[in-house]
Structure 1
Amino acid sequence: MALLVRSGPVTEAVTEPISASRALPRSAVLVVNAKSRKGRKLFRRAVQGLRAAGVEIIAAHAIRKPKLLAPTIKQAVESGAPMVIVGGGDGSLSSSVDYFVGNDCVFALLPLGTANSFARTMGVPLDLEGAIEVIATGQRRRIDLGMIDGDYFANCAAIGISPLIAETVPHGFKAWAGRVGYLSWAMLMMFRFKPFKLTVGEGDTAETIDALEVRIANGPYHGGTELVDDAAVDSGEIVVQAVVGRAIPYLGWSWLTSILRLPARRHTTREFHGKALRVVTDPPLAISIDGEVLAKTPVMARVAQGVIEVAAPAS
């Protein structure tokens, strides 16, 4: 398979070569969640494309049983592979990052899900050929991870409607309906949703507000939409962003202004920044971590600064 070549006007430019210390490994283990939206269909294309791009595939695994994904990635990292490529949606990627912490192994990704928020944050193209090109020609980038208590996550955790969607969306619906269907289901779930009290911080610095949704962000994207403008994977801080208020339609307005990138979006939210922030809700609520419901408030949200290296586009 040939790499995708994007044509355009010829301009003079000076390209700085990637130093050996920042260059990506030329061999890797590939692990693809074949239950993800595109995983099974694109697995063989991924193997062929990576080899054609000059990346040696030490081993390739198409995982059809979700419970086998994590142990397969753990084994690949612990085997001493210089790079492990994970193909799947945000949930698959986020459940993988724990195994790279403290290991000299580069984390690379093939975005094969619905929202692909982490790929958007990293600037990785959403098409298979573009993502392969990053792995073949990109560079190492050391990034932060978020933490909910002791659990690492890649991009964003959420309280409010996101866990409700994750708990109620019919099996296979995202794979069939895609991102548009996912957003439509989100609009439907708003009628079942109730606002809540949010407290951020501890002691004298704690602040309580009325909230409609909360995003605990290590990166700007959530649900495939850029919502937390000031969050970044190398900022050294975690951002807790709340959509403020008690009127449910206001949540829809907040999402709409964010999707359309209107200046009004900043007037719908309140942000808290820090290295560690305690998050409490009344009543206690579920937390979805990159699309998977894995925790419940109260929790401590933290940043783990510069703990993994990721395959990123060349600067």
Structure 2
Amino acid sequence: SVNAVASTLLADPHCESALGVLPLGTLNHFAKDLNIPLTLDEAIANIATGRKLRVDSGEVNGAPFINNSSLGLYPDIVREREKQQARLGRGKWLAFTWAAMGALRRYPFLRVRLSIDGKEHWRRTPFVFIGNNEYLMSGLDIGKRSTLTDGQLSLYVCHRTGRLGLLRLALHALFGRLREAHDFDVLTCSEIHIETHKKRMRVATDGEVNLMQTPLHYRIRPASLTVIVPQVADPQAPSTSEPGLLDKLLGEN
């Protein structure tokens, strides 16, 4: 839902509206990475009192994303999860678990050619993950971003590994040694071209899966989206969390 609203704002290069985020999603990655409060009352107050910040967005073949995009295992899992939800009436997380188990049994590989900064890289991989700015890939902070304003895409590609290799990579990540893994590529760049023998393939953008024509062209769009984020903390400022603040902002007694 955040992507849908952000996409509307990004479609107009002259748009001056700012995006106010309410943390009503499943994981709220975008809100967390921008330090937006995760309680609804505080998030509403942030929209009223916060500051505007221009952040980056990513794009693949013209389709914007604010968190990440991926190929391979994850789009297959999401597609199967949606089938199970519709056909069997399973809850989202139960359907996701069964879909993930099925994908790991099949364990399909992609053969892709990555063109980055004038260099080509061939990879046979179960997944390709592209982030809007760099994701932390180690320890308990894995999957978080420290900034959305560096103007870079991050690329993560696992290769030459099977199911046990994925487990080994997970352990590397847990102990902060993922960048040392020989079967895992990590880099940042502003543009990525991805070619494959398939004419169309499933691509996930912020959790939504669509069929796209290949080749895929990823690029970063620096400072393309205005978001309302919390004010910079001032130790001398009075607390804004006193009882009744939200009521005052909403004009209620």
- Counterpart-to-counterpart distance in 1, 2:119 and 2:146: 22
Please give the secondary structure, in 2, of the residue aligned with 1:110: coil
Tell me which residue corresponds to 2:55: 143
Please, which of 17, 37, 42 is the counterpart of residue 105 of structure 1?
17
Change over 3 Å in CA distance of 1:186–1:207 after alignment to 2: same
Within the alignment, does 1:186 sit opposite 2:103 as a pair? no
- Counterpart-to-counterpart distance in 1, 2:22 and 2:16: 20
Deviations along 1:255-311, one digit per CA (max 9) or x if unpaired, are: 4654xx421333253123222121223556321111111335421110111112101
Tell me which residue corresponds to 1:214: 128
Residues 9, 17 of structure 2: 8 Å contact kept: no
- Counterpart-to-counterpart distance in 2, 1:183 and 1:102: 42
Mapping of residues 169-180 of structure 1, within 5 Å: 169-170=81-82, 173=85, 177=91
Deviations along 1:101-131, one digit per CA (max 9) or x if unpaired, are: 4311101111222232222222223332232
Please give the secondary structure, in 2, of the residue aligned with 1:207: strand
1:185 Cα deviation (Å)? 3.8
Equivalent residues, number: 223
After alignment, is 237-246 or 265-274 more displaced? 265-274
Within the alignment, does 1:264 sit opposite 2:177 as a pair? yes
Deviations along 1:124-158, one digit per CA (max 9) or x if unpaired, are: 23332232232233211111110112222111001
Residues 152, 189 of structure 2: 8 Å contact kept: yes
Letter in 2 for 1:168: E
Residues 118, 221 of structure 1: 8 Å contact kept: no
Tell me which residue corresponds to 1:288: 204
Please give the secondary structure, in 2, of the residue aligned with 1:271: strand
Tell me which residue corresponds to 1:52: none
Within the alignment, does 1:314 sit opposite 2:231 as a pair? yes
Identify unmatched segments of 5+ residues in structure 1.
1-87
Change over 3 Å in CA distance of 1:128–1:297 after alignment to 2: farther
Please give the secondary structure, in 1, of the residue aligned with 2:126: strand
Instruction: Output the aligned Cα RMSD.
Output: 3.3
1:252 Cα deviation (Å)? 4.3
Identify unmatched segments of 5+ residues in structure 2.
233-253
Change over 3 Å in CA distance of 1:113–1:103 after alignment to 2: same
Tell me which residue corresponds to 1:156: 68
1:168 Cα deviation (Å)? 1.3
Please give the secondary structure, in 1, of the residue aligned with 2:82: coil
The structure whose RCO (Cα within 8 Å, separation 6+) is larger is: 2
Taking structure 2 as the reference length, the TM-score comes to 0.73
Please give the secondary structure, in 2, of the residue aligned with 1:119: helix
Residues 57, 220 of structure 2: 8 Å contact kept: yes
Please give the secondary structure, in 2, of the residue aligned with 1:263: coil
Please, which of 247, 250, 269 is the counterpart of residue 165 of structure 2?
250
Residues 169, 185 of structure 1: 8 Å contact kept: yes
Identity %: 21
Please, which of 28, 36, 39 is the counterpart of residue 124 of structure 1?
36
Change over 3 Å in CA distance of 1:127–1:254 after alignment to 2: farther
- Counterpart-to-counterpart distance in 2, 1:183 and 1:262: 25
After alignment, is 166-175 or 111-120 more displaced? 166-175
- Counterpart-to-counterpart distance in 2, 1:133 and 1:172: 38
Please, which of 168, 191, 195 is the counterpart of residue 276 of structure 1?
191
Change over 3 Å in CA distance of 1:191–1:287 after alignment to 2: same
Residues 6, 19 of structure 2: 8 Å contact kept: no
Within the alignment, does 1:198 sit opposite 2:115 as a pair? no
1:249 Cα deviation (Å)? 3.2
Taking structure 1 as the reference length, the TM-score comes to 0.60
Letter in 2 for 1:269: F
- Counterpart-to-counterpart distance in 2, 1:126 and 1:231: 17
Please give the secondary structure, in 2, of the residue aligned with 1:194: coil
